[in-house]
């Protein structure tokens, strides 16, 4: 059976557009660098940038022990119900999950020494107001 050129072009476009972007990612390299240190106990300061209340966007000290967040700004983590407060491994997972949503804007910077993400920003859709969010990780101290 012979297909018309229109259907051949349409089929080609479908295959091309349905494929993964295939863009190179340095997530693997940076995640490997981070993992090579084997840190399970560390602290860092997290500042969230979003269209949120001021208290939420203020810098907060995150304490991680045995690869679990135990405290955010002095408050035991069990009392907080917010997925924005995560371990550095959790931020690598977050980056990977956000990339699956094909964001309109993505900005990621990594710490030169340890490889953890020091700045993360995603805007998934330019058509949705105020859903963009950014994270800045500073003052990292391993134990």
> pLDDT by residue for the chain (143 residues), tens digit each?
454 443 343 333 333 333 344 444 456 899 999 999 999 999 999 999 998 888 889 999 999 999 999 999 988 877 666 778 999 999 999 999 999 999 999 999 999 999 999 999 999 987 776 778 999 999 999 99
Q: What is the pLDDT of residue 126?
A: 74
The burial of 55, by beta-carbon neighbours within 10 Å (0-12 exposed, 13-18 middle, 19 or more buried), is given as exposed
CA atoms of 133 and 13, how far apart (whole Å): 33
Residue 12: how many CA atoms within 13 Å on its side-chain side? 7
Residue 12 lies in a domain: no
Residue 42 lies in a domain: yes
Q: Judge whether 32 and 125 are in contact, CB under 8 Å.
A: no
> For the chain, how many structural domains are there in total?
1
Residue 16 lies in a domain: no
Q: What is the pLDDT of residue 81?
A: 64
Residue 100 lies in a domain: yes
Q: What is the pLDDT of residue 3?
A: 45
Residue 94 lies in a domain: yes
DSSP annotation of 78: G
Phi and psi angles of residue 121, each rounded to the nearest 5 degrees, phi first: -145, 130
Residue 31 lies in a domain: yes
Q: What is the pLDDT of residue 27?
A: 62
Residue 118 lies in a domain: yes
Residue 76 lies in a domain: yes
- Owning domain of residue 70: 24-142
Q: What is the pLDDT of residue 78?
A: 74
Q: What is the pLDDT of residue 5?
A: 42
Q: What is the pTM of this model?
A: 0.76
């Amino acid at each position: 059976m012979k297909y018309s050129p229109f259907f051949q072009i349409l089929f080609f476009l479908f295959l091309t557009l349905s494929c993964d972007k295939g863009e190179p990612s340095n997530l693997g390299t940076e995640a490997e660098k981070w993992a090579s240190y084997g840190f399970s106990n560390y602290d860092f300061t997290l500042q969230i940038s979003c269209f949120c209340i001021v208290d939420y966007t203020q810098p907060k000290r995150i304490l991680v022990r045995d690869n679990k967040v135990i405290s955010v700004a002095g408050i035991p983590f069990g009392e907080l119900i917010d997925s924005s407060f995560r371990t550095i491994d959790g931020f690598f997972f977050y980056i990977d999950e956000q990339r699956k949503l094909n964001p309109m804007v993505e900005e990621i910077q990594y710490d030169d020494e340890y490889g953890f993400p020091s700045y993360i920003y995603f805007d998934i859709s330019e058509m949705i107001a105020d859903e963009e969010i950014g994270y800045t990780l500073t003052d990292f101290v391993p134990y």
